[in-house]
Structure 1
């Protein structure tokens, strides 16, 4: 299970989600761009900047809730520690922390 953070092109919005299939979920977010009924579509938040792999759904959901309770500053520190330039992560070419794949 994955917990992930998305942002928009201006890096002003953060979205936190949980999924068992990160590539599929990212595609779904991208397909909803411009869909004002969806948070990620309304705010154009489809750029993956952080993710964690957790062993089971219970832990993933708990981690998602934990991150959602954090301040923006604390979330930014988490992202910077993982992805210092806030680059959009391409899962096919990602060379970041090995324990996150």
Structure 2
């Protein structure tokens, strides 16, 4: 079975990039590092894979990719760290900071 991946890269400038891969995750990360398609990551190489999840259906992957792209930096970092309490707390606040921070 072929899987679709949603992934997050940390770019050389410290920013994050969220994307999806239908042709294999390792291949897609290599394409980013080669600058194959230009765009955001081509100017911020090298990139490092910091998070990924596989999906059986493309529509599921696209939905998650869109959601993650709208997340704050703090929430993305909580996901990378697998800090589910922080992800949940950051989901409740619009400003991206948990209460009392």
Q: Fold-level match, TM-score > 0.5?
A: yes
TM-score by length of 2: 0.70
Tell me by how many angstroms 1:9 deviates. 3.9
1:80 aligns with 2:81: yes
Gaps of 5+ in 1: 83-101
Aligned to 2:56: 55
Pairing 1:28–2:17 present: no
How many residue pairs match? The answer is 79
- Structure 2's unaligned 5+ residue stretches are 84-101
Q: Deviations over 1:23-80 (max 9, x none)?
A: 11111111118x8x42101122520000001111000000000101111111110001
Instruction: Tell me the equivalent position of 1:67.
Output: 68
Give the TM-score taking structure 1 as reference length.
0.70
The structure with the largest alpha-carbon Rg is 2
Supply the distance in 1 between the matched residues of 2:18 and 2:46 (Cα, whole angstroms). 10
Equivalent residue number for residue 88 of structure 1: none
Q: 1:75 to 1:45 in 2, by over 3 A?
A: farther
